[in-house]
Chains A and B, each alone.
Chain A
Amino acid sequence: MPRFWLVSTVLGAVAALATAGSVLFQGAEWEWRSSFLVGGEFLYLRLDGVSALFLALLAVLGGAGAVYASEYWPDKAHPRSATAGRAWWNVMLASLAFVLVTSNGLHFLLAWEAFTFAGYFLITLDRHRREVRAAGWLYLAASHAGTVCLFAFFAAVASHNGSWELGPMREHTDLAPFFWLALFGFGLKSGMFPLHIWLPSAHASAPSHVSALFSGVTIKIGIYGLVRFTGWMPVPDIAGWVIAALGVASAVLGVAFALGQHDLKRLLAYHSVENIGIILIGLGFAVVATATDGGDWGRLALAGGLLHIWNHGLFKALLFLGAGSVLHATGTREMSRLGGLWRAMPWTASLFALGAAAISGLPPLNGFVSEWLVYLGLFDGAIARGPIAWPLVLAAILLGVTGALALACFIKVCGVVFLGAPRSRAVTHAHESGLAMRAPMLVLAAGCVAIGLAPVVFWPAVATAVGAWRPGWADAATIVPDSLFALSWAHGVLAAVGLAAATWLWQRTRRGLQRAVTWDCGYEMPSATMQYTAGSFAGIITGWFAWILRPQRHAHCPVDVFPAAAHFEEHTPETVLEHVVEPAGAAVMRLATLVRRLQHGRLNAYLLYLIVGVAALAAVVLLEDRP
């Protein structure tokens, strides 16, 4: 039965990928209306460039995650939840795909709810742990806060149009204010700062293949909503600026929070916030471009943002699967207990390193290509020296800062988890994962390398999506390819020469090689506990960001000539959740408690309320009547 499930899921994924590919590369749009009613509405499905872009990513990650799950979450180890996991996985994939193709607001909401619930059950597959249940509840509550806004949004649009059907409606300029509802609802799902409160704990507590799907696709569905409805609907003039500003904030603060984490998967989750930020920078400035001069730079920024959706999906899923392999092998996500894993898990270590380089935006991998396109857009806009150029300059600088911070963070992760000496016994018993867990990682890594080395091949797909976003921009295909072609060449040469040089130097090193203990300034017996830790590695940068990270320190410093036990602990809290949302929630509860005092069961007081109420009404009426 599991094998049948696996084969059919992978076949479905391949079919979806082929469909999406035919739309993206041949430009054929696909439309279908049903002759029967579902929930009182005719089905109206449409697959255009924007939908196909996301559908392709969904297909790749859905298939890869299913293969991974067959070894990572097998029936033998999880007799109860494995079956449920498979069922909800398919509900999730189907409802996500339906969200992407439906053009009916009501069906959109139904599918949206379906995948939210499927997501909840997938996160809480391992529900006997308290933290998992808490993460699931937080996710469910936050998702529904967003869904409320989406209900309002779609209902408002439907009542305005007289129909639930969706489509381009840019001429209805009075719909523009509803954009803010969509921004909140979709933004919450996408995990942009400061609406990311649910994201870190959900991603960290879910099984790793689920984390990969969440980070790779589900949060992108929030982005899909924003891309879709900024393309179809009129937006307020300021909308682009707001999206871009949220993007910049998400990018910089996401990576800053990531640096403060000690939990491997929580750290990766915060990097999703960062990458969502990069995508939003591209989208936001594209909206700005359409609202102002409509220059080519907006197309480049949008193309970069859209390509980054694919790229982030690929390398973040790769990293989450890698983290899952580490968790599977060692039983811990705590980085301070890991170290030196490359020896036991060479495949996982190398693939994770590739993903780390890709997410840091390093050439010749895919992360650089999309960030490069976003940069081109920002630079082009800046050198036009228009009135809007200053924010572009600022965004470009902060994008650079984000890249450097991400690099620091991933050096930290790779170094602490895979290099050096094992920090605990958990590592000494680690083992490499089997083929079913390595194969999906290899596929994703191949995707990262392919987009990095041959971006020209994938450009037509992105150009189709850009054209579908705004019909006037259908000629986007013509504006980059020359330099993109040059970049492909440069990447190819770099990869070939880099590999050759590394191999050659390794061969040269192996001649007469001696092994010795690490040089620690003459110290003869360096031990694993003397290694630099994740916290100390990130200490300089988390110090710079202490104003928002608010790290909690518990220090017991050594004193006197013969110090007794010493102790130091630092923990970065969920600042937005603990310092903003929870106090606000507590205030609401206090207010509610106060109001409840009015309700005490004493009849004479109730009569008094009635009299006071009637008197007040009478006063209002009398005062109104007077000319």
Chain B
Amino acid sequence: MIAALEIILRLAGWLVLAPLLPGIINKVKAWVAGRRGPPVLQLYFDLARLWRKSVVLSTLASPGFVAGPAIAWVAIAGAALLLPLGPAGAVVGFRGDVLLLIYLLALARFGTAWAALETGSAFEGMGSAREVSYAVLAEAALITAVLSLSVHSGSITLETMLTPAAGPGAVLLAGGLFTVLLAENCRVPFDDPNTHLELTMIHEAMILDHSGPPLAVILHGAAVKLLLFAVLLTEAVLPVGAMPPLAGTGALLAGVLAVTVGVGVVESLLARLAFRRVPLLLTTAFLLCLFALLVAWKGGPA
């Protein structure tokens, strides 16, 4: 009973807090550019507005056009539930849960990419193709990062893996995971969430035809995924799980905030990469994670 209550509370926390992150990123970008920018809560307003609207659906689309985003959203929320939250630990944890997390993200990708192909639009096909192709490299980096945490902690359960964090390889792992975060969440320099030129986009190109509640679900899912990666990155670098409760919670929040601000700063200072350079950057991320693994290997047991 208490476990069920905790699951619901955590889920609510994830779902309610997630839309803050894009707001913070946009605020940071506005500050750097000297603008006032949209309110931090803008995404909440957008989601509420979208949810009230009715839907215009392509004549070609099947029910999968709507089911895809719904399943993707459930998968992302499920992946988020698996993550331990600093000193509070994980609410569900078992050997190998980290692999379930990675593959739940893959399930989410399947859902959104499927939905994108429903309309027969070349732009959405393009976005979908880019998404699934670059994900190959991102997944290699992510699995390497997870392996380095596993080797360092001698465990394949998320909670025990993340409690000691990455140890001496933390800086390398932070670089690698941050790059993966940018790629997986379609931020600059991989993708530009602001542009409306369909030819140059990944994520935005996939959702061109979505409107109303399905679009709200996609946007909210994307926000939860960003928060998930921010928490994962923070916990992989800082041993928040091993800290006393108050300090740990503070460190986790500060870490997530720092990552979010970092995304905003990167987005303000960098331009989007040419697509042919994307694999190079992702390979760099993979190599960073691989070196982190090497450090964990030679660093001795945690």
Contacts and interface: CB of A to CB of B under 8 A. Distances in A.
Interface string A408-424: 10011011100111000
A516 B212 contact: no
B28 interface: no
Interface in B46-76: 54-60, 62-64, 66-67, 69-71, 73-75
Interface string B153-171: 0111000000000000000
A19 B123 CA distance: 54
Nearest to B127: A532
A342 B198 contact: no
Interface stretch (B92-100, B174-182, B185-193, B259-267): B92-100
A339 B120 contact: yes
B106 interface: yes
Given A509-B57, A518-B59, A419 B117 contact: yes
A487 interface: yes
Max chain B Cβ within 10 angstroms of own Cβ: one of A382, A482, A498:
A498
A567 B198 CA distance: 25
B147 A519 contact: no
A376 B146 CA distance: 13
Contacts of A508: 213
Contacts of A396: 143, 147
Interface size on A, as a range, is 35 or more
B60 A340 contact: yes
Max chain B Cβ within 10 angstroms of own Cβ: one of A383, A482, A521, A530:
A383
A505 to B, nearest CB: 4
Contact of B147 (A339, A346, A379): A379
B220 to A, nearest CB: 12
Contacts of B56: 513-516
Given A490-B92, A501-B74, A513 B54 contact: yes
A454 B143 CA distance: 26
Max chain B Cβ within 10 angstroms of own Cβ: one of A357, A403, A405, A501:
A501
Contact of B151 (A349, A385, A400, A493): A385
Contacts of A509: 55, 57, 66, 212-214
B167 to A, nearest CB: 14
Contacts of B151: 382-383, 385, 393
Given A340-B60, A383-B150, A505-B69, A421 B120 contact: yes
B122 A483 contact: no
Given A393-B293, A400-B143, A502-B67, A540 B130 contact: yes
Contacts of A501: 70-71, 73-74
Contacts of A512: 54-55
Nearest to A493: B78
B95 A531 contact: no
Contacts of B125: 415, 531-532, 536-537
B100 to A, nearest CB: 6
A269 interface: no
A411 B70 contact: no
A515 B135 contact: no
Interface string A370-410: 00100110011011010000000100110011011101100
Contact of B136 (A404, A502, A516): A404
B243 to A, nearest CB: 24
Interface stretch (B108-116, B224-232, B234-242): B108-116
A518 B140 contact: no
A49 B103 CA distance: 31
B7 to A, nearest CB: 10
The prevalent SS among residues of B at the interface is helix
B213 A400 contact: no
Contacts of A240: none
B118 A486 contact: no
Nearest to A356: B110
Contacts of A511: 54
B138 to A, nearest CB: 8
B144 interface: yes
A362 B107 contact: yes
A408 B64 contact: no
B96 A376 contact: yes
A360 interface: yes
A376 B109 CA distance: 23
B77 to A, nearest CB: 8
A520 interface: yes
Given A502-B66, A516-B57, A541-B136, A363 B102 contact: no
A514 B293 contact: no
B66 A532 contact: no
Interface string A547-558: 000000000000
Contact of B156 (A357, A383, A393, A404): A383
A287 to B, nearest CB: 22
A294 interface: no
A518 B132 contact: no
Interface string A276-287: 000000000000
Nearest to B140: A401
B128 A519 contact: no
B122 A531 contact: yes
A324 B30 CA distance: 56
A520 B154 CA distance: 51
A191 interface: no
A469 interface: no
Contacts of B75: 494, 498
B195 interface: no
A497 B58 contact: no
Given A396-B143, A513-B54, A539 B74 contact: no
Nearest to A505: B70
Contact of A403 (B58, B126, B139, B213): B139
B139 A411 contact: no
A363 B122 contact: no
A420 B120 contact: yes
Nearest to B98: A379
A497 B72 CA distance: 11
Interface of A: 339-340, 342-343, 346, 349, 353, 357, 360-363, 368, 372, 375-376, 379-380, 382-383, 385, 393, 396-397, 400-401, 403-405, 407-408, 411-412, 414-416, 419-421, 482-483, 486-487, 490, 493-494, 497-498, 501-502, 504-506, 508-509, 511-521, 526, 528, 530-532, 536-541, 544
Given A403-B106, A502-B67, A518-B58, 14 more contacts: A363-B103, A382-B151, A383-B150, A383-B154, A400-B102, A403-B139, A408-B133, A419-B60, A420-B118, A487-B94, A494-B75, A497-B74, A498-B70, A519-B58
25 contacts: A346-B62, A362-B106, A363-B103, A383-B154, A407-B109, A407-B135, A408-B136, A412-B129, A415-B113, A415-B117, A420-B118, A494-B74, A497-B78, A498-B70, A502-B67, A505-B213, A511-B54, A512-B55, A514-B54, A518-B60, A519-B208, A526-B121, A532-B124, A532-B125, A536-B126
A-B pairs with the 8 shortest C-beta distances?
A532-B125, A415-B117, A420-B120, A512-B54, A486-B94, A408-B132, A502-B67, A400-B143
